[in-house]
Structure 1
Amino acid sequence: MADKPLLTVRNMSISFSSPDEADIEAVRQVDLSLTPGKTLALVGESGCGKSVTARAVLRLLDKNAIIPSGEILFDTGQGAVDIARLKPDSLAMRSIRGAEISMIFQEPMSSLSPVHTIGDQIDEFIILHERLSPKQARERTVALLDQVGVPGARDRANAYPFELSGGLRQRAMIAMALACTPKLLIADEPTTALDVTTQAQILDLLRQLQDDYGMAMLFITHDLGVVAEVADEIAVMYLGDVVEQGDVYEVFRRPKHPYTQALMNSVPRLSRKADRKRLSPIKGTVPSPRDRPSGCAFTSRCPHAFAPCPAQRPERTQVSAGHVARCHLLAHEPAEALA
C-alpha cells in the first residue's frame, strides 16, 4: 500500500547523561510519520533538536545519549523493526543503516575522509552492503557520480574531497547515500553551505532522484523557502518539541502555533511598495535544554503566553485533517476558527 507508513516515530524522547548533573532532555515525545515517495520537512532554529532526531533514526547518537521512551518503527518489507531497541553496532542496525536508510550530512568536508579518494569511499560503501568485487563496485561508483551530475565522473572518482568544490562534494555525498537504493533518505541541511545557483541544482537533483527511486525523504532545514519547494508535509520543532505539523500548504496557509507564525513573519516577501513592512524577528534565543520549562517550550519568547503556558504542557490539538499543533490558545479558540 502506497499510504502505508515507511517510518513511524511514536512518543520518542532523547536524553543526554552527564556525570555532574541530571539527564538533559533534548527531544521530548516526538511523533512523526513518513510514507514512500513523500517528503517531510523538519524545520526550526538551530538547537531545536532536528539533527538529533534524524540521527536517532540511524542510531548515530553520541555515546552518552539514550532513548528512554518511544518507538522508531521502520518497515523493512518483512515486518516493522523498532530501531529504538536495536543496539547501534548490532548486525541488524548495520544492515539497515546505509542500505535501507541513508543520510546526507550537513557538511561533506567534515563527513568525508580527507585521506581517501571519493571513489574509494563510495566503493567501500558498495562492497560492504552489496558484496560486489572492487571492479564492479568502481563501475557502480562511476555510474552513480555520473547520475548525480559530477562531470568527468571516472576521473573525479580519483580525486580527494579537498580537490572538489562544495557543490561537487555534496553531489559525491548524495551518490554515496544512494549507492544501495535506500527506501528512506535523510537530508540534513544539504544546501546550507552552497551558493544559490548550486542550491537550486541540488534541490532539483534530489527531487528527480526521489521520483526515480520512489523513496521517502526526511529533509532538515531552517529555510522555509526550501520547504515550500520540496516538502509534502512539515513538522515545526522548538526546543525538542514538535509544536505543529501537517500538510505543508495547510500549515503555511493557516499556521496556528505562535512559533510557526513568528517564523513565517520573519521571512522577507516581495510586495508592492505601499505594503512593505519591516521584518518581525523572533526576540530572544532558544533556551538551553537545561532550562526547559515544564509547560510550553516556547513560553519565554511567546507574545501570547498566559497563565497555563509555563507550567502545563499543551496537548496536541487537531486543527484540521492532518494538521495538529500544541498550543493552549487553541483550546480557547471557537470551534469554527479551527475548522
Structure 2
Amino acid sequence: MVDKPLLKIEDVEIAFSSPDEADIVAVRQVDLTLTAGKTLCLVGESGCGKSVTARAVLRLLDQNASISRGRILFTPPGEETVDIGALKSDSLSMRAIRGNKISMIFQEPMSSLSPVHTIGDQIDEMIMLHEDLKPKEARERTVSLLDQVGIPGPRERADTYPFQLSGGLRQRAMIAMALACTPNLLIADEPTTALDVTTQAQILDLLKKLQDDYGMAMLFITHDLGVVAEIADEVAVMYLGDVVEQGDVFEVFRAPRHPYTQALMRSIPTMARKADRQRLSPIKGTVPSAKDRPQGCAFTSRCPHAFEPCPTVRPERTQVGEGHVARCHLLTQDTTRAEELA
C-alpha cells in the first residue's frame, strides 16, 4: 500500500482583488506534491509566485488575496486528509495546523520576530500554544532547541532580543521556533538570502541534519540554483505564476526541457581557464506584469522558440521522463521542433 503524499496542491489558483481593476491572478493552476522526509525546491525569479504559494499553504495571504480555484490537501501521518484551502485563515482548525504541524521559516527574521519580546519568550509562547506545558517546562524545551540549532550559550541567549543577535543567530532562532512543535512539514522561504556564504552553508547543513532527525518534509523556496543542487530531492521551476517544469533534481539539471529552465541553467556563472571563459548568457527581456500575462505560455515574450500557439494557448503538462513534466508546446509538436529542446 502506497502512503498518501503529506501535501498535495491540486490545480491551485491565487488571485488578488483590486477596487479599480479586474482580479490579478498571481498563481495559475499549480500542482505540487510533497512526500514525508523529502525536500521540494520551488525556484524562479523574484515575483514569480513562490512565496505566495507557500503562504497559501498556511493561509497567511493578504486580505485582498484568495484561493480562487483548486485544493491544498494535507495528510498528517495517521490522520485524515484536510483541505487547507477550504479552511478560514482564523479558524481553530487552521490555528491547530499553523506552527504545529506546518511551520515556516520566513525570509527576513528581523521583520518576522517581535522586537519587543525576547527570543525565549517568543518560542515559549509557540510551545505553550500547542502543547500542555507549564512555563518552566516550555523554557527548558526552548533552551534545548536553541542549543540544537547551534546557538552558543542558549540559556543566556533566550533572554536576548532579536536586535541583539547577528543575522545568522536570528535565523537560527527562527529555525528553533519553527521546529518547536516538531512539524510534519517545514516551509523555508529563502532562509539564506541575507546571509554571507559561510553562514549560508552552515544553515543549509543544519536544515538537512534537522530534517534527518525529525523526518519532516521540506518546501524550500529559493532563486539560487546552487542551493537547489545541494538540498533538493525534487525541483519545481516557476515563471510568472506557472510551474513550467518539475521533476527529480538530477533529471531536471541533467536534461532541462523547458526553455526557461534551460535559460536559467545557462545563466549560472562557472569557473573556467582564461582560454575557455565565455560571457554570461542572460535571459533577454523582462518579466511582464501579471496584469499583462499572455493567455498561453507565460514565457512567450522571452522565449527564443516561441511560435503560433504559444501566446494564446496554454501548454499542457507533458511527461518527458519518469516523474519529470514540463509545460511547453514544443514538447507536443513534430519531432523536428521537439528536438530543439532536447
Into which bin does the TM-score normalised by the smaller protein fall? over 0.9
Distance 1:254 1:334 in 2: 17
Where does residue 293 of structure 1 map in the other structure? Answer: 294
The one-letter amino acid paired with 1:139 is E
Paired residue secondary structure (1:72): strand
The equivalent of 2:335 in structure 1 is 334
Matches within 5 A, 1:51-130: 51-76=51-76, 77-130=78-131
SS of the residue corresponding to residue 200 of structure 2 reads helix
CA deviation string 1:239-265 (max 9, x = no partner): 000000000000000001010001000
TM-score (norm 1): 0.97
On the 8 A contact 1:3/1:36 being kept in 2, the answer is: no
CA contact (8 A) 2:4 2:75 kept: no
**Range with bigger deviation, 268-277 or 45-54:** 268-277
Deviation at 1:276, TM superposition (A): 2.1
Whichever residue aligns with residue 262 of structure 1, its letter is A
Moved more, 263-272 or 326-335: 326-335
2:286 and 2:44 map into 1 onto residues whose CA distance is: 12
CA distances 1:275-313 after superposition (whole Å, capped 9, x unpaired): 321111112221111111101000111111111111110
1:1-339 mapped onto 2 (5 Å cutoff): 4-76=4-76, 77-332=78-333, 334=335
Letter in 2 for 1:263: L
Kept after mapping to 2: 8 A contact 1:11/1:71: yes
Q: Provide Cα deviations, 1:39-58, integer angstroms capped at 9, x if missing partner.
A: 00000000000000000000
Deviations 1:122-168 (A, max 9, x none): 00000101121111110000000000000000000000000000000
- Please tell me whether the aligned partners of residues 146 and 176 of structure 2 are also in contact (alpha carbons under 8 angstroms): yes
Q: Distance in 1 between matches of 2:80 and 2:271?
A: 49
- Opposite residue 39 of structure 2, the aligned amino acid is T
TM-score scaled by structure 2?
Answer: 0.97
**CA distance in structure 2 between the aligned counterparts of 1:191 and 1:284, rounded to whole angstroms:** 27
Q: Which moved more, 1:43-52 or 1:297-306?
A: 297-306
Shift of 1:2: 7.4
- Quote the Cα distance in structure 2 between the aligned partners of 1:310 and 1:334: 21
Aligned residue type for 2:278: K
- CA-CA distance at 1:333 after TM superposition: 5.2
Contact 1:2 1:36 in 2 (8 A): no
Q: What is the one-letter code of the residue matched to 1:160? A: Y
Q: Percent identity?
A: 79
Q: Which consecutive unaligned segments of at least 5 residues does structure 1 have?
A: none
Whole-angstrom distance in 1 between the partners of 2:277 and 2:320: 30
Distance in 1 between residues matched to 2:63 and 2:71, nearest whole Å: 19
Q: CA deviation at 1:331?
A: 1.3
CA–CA separation in structure 2 for the residues paired with 1:48 and 1:2: 33
> Helix, strand or coil for the counterpart of 2:9?
strand
Give, as a single letter, the amino acid of the residue that structure 2 aligns with 1:285.
T
CA contact (8 A) 1:104 1:173 kept: yes
Task: Give 3-state SS (helix, strand or coil) of 2:142's partner.
Answer: helix
* Superposed CA offset, 1:176-228 (max 9, x none): 00000000000000000000000000000000000000000000000000000
Q: Which amino acid aligns with 1:321?
A: E
**Count, aligned residues:** 339
- Aligned amino acid, residue 16 of structure 2: F
